[in-house]
Amino acid sequence: MIAELCFKFFDEFFIEGTSETWYSVKDVYTELVRVDDAVEVVRWKRIWKLQVQQRVKSFVCLLAHGRMWTNFQRSIRGLGSAACDICGGVAETDIHLIRDCTKAMEVWCQHVPPLLQQVFFSLNLEDWVDANLSVDSKWI
């Protein structure tokens, strides 16, 4: 009875543009990442075309990948507290380190026009990096 209930209905997935119900894992993976690839390619091209020192490009690349060695990352590995050393109570994530920490905010508020600050401080990390890499970004 249980086996009959469990296997009575099957989920079927279709890749857009085909009526096939059987396909390889590679086909599914390709379809899932296809949409994000275009955005990713543009982001990395913008990073590597920056006219800055290589270490700055590397920093931006780490930030865009979410790979900054923050207190939050250390705490996941059991290497201390996630709290920010500067403001104390908040977890030091990538976006907190570069934008949301009180000291970072002081610097940004001096350079970002007041009318743009609401948008500037509300974007998630990916969108924030993309906005700052875009040629038409008018924060400063």
pTM of the model: 0.67
Q: Between vectors from CA 88 to CA 87 and to CA 89, what angle results, nearest 5°?
A: 110
Establish if 139 belongs to a structural domain.
no
Establish if 11 belongs to a structural domain.
no
**Which pLDDT value is given to residue 17?**
61
Establish if 140 belongs to a structural domain.
no
* Domain count across the chain: 1
Establish if 5 belongs to a structural domain.
no
For 42-100, the pLDDT digits (tens) are: 788 888 888 889 999 999 999 988 889 999 999 999 999 999 999 987 999 999 999 99
Q: What does the chain come to in residues?
A: 140
Domain around 98: 21-133
Establish if 125 belongs to a structural domain.
yes
